[in-house]
Amino acid sequence: AQSVAQPEDQVNVAEGNPLTVKCTYSVSGNPYLFWYVQYPNRGLQFLLKYITGDNLVKGSYGFEAEFNKSQTSFHLKKPSALVSDSALYFCAVRVTMEYGNKLVFGAGTILRVKS
């Protein structure tokens, strides 16, 4: 089965420090990977995606992610965290089915940035 795993329930980081939110994947074939962020009582916002090409992907709000095929990882990073980055982050993989595509999400990681 195609899936993603987020090994950390919560990540704590001080404002101004670099942050990393981890994601590993298990996919047959080439993975289509995504990061989404969800603020309290809101929908999911798309941050960035890896489809093909450069392993370092840049996205919204200063976030970037590094695709590592040998380690089957797609970690989300930001050089300098802001308090406003505190939210719930989901990694996802696109799964192709017979009649359509769907996203399979990881369990989510709560990011807390403290001032």
Partner 1 sequence: DTEVTQTPKHLVMGMTNKKSLKCEQHMGHRAMYWYKQKAKKPPELMFVYSYEKLSINESVPSRFSPECPNSSLLNLHLHALQPEDSALYLCASSQTTAQLRSYEQYFGPGTRLTVT
User: Residue numbers of the site for partner 1 (CB under 8 A)?
Assistant: 32, 34, 36, 41-46, 49, 51, 88, 90, 94, 96-97, 99-103, 105-108, 110
| Residue 42 or 114 with smaller CB distance to partner 1 | 42
How far apart, in Å, are the Cα atoms of 11 and each of 34, 43, 56, 61? 19, 21, 22, 18
| Residue 1 or 97 with smaller CB distance to partner 1 | 97
| Residue 43 or 115 with smaller CB distance to partner 1 | 43
Residue 51 · residue 29 · CB < 8 Å: no
Q: 9: left (phi > 0), else alpha (psi -120 to 50), else beta? A: alpha
Least distance to partner 1, CB of residue 80, Å: 25
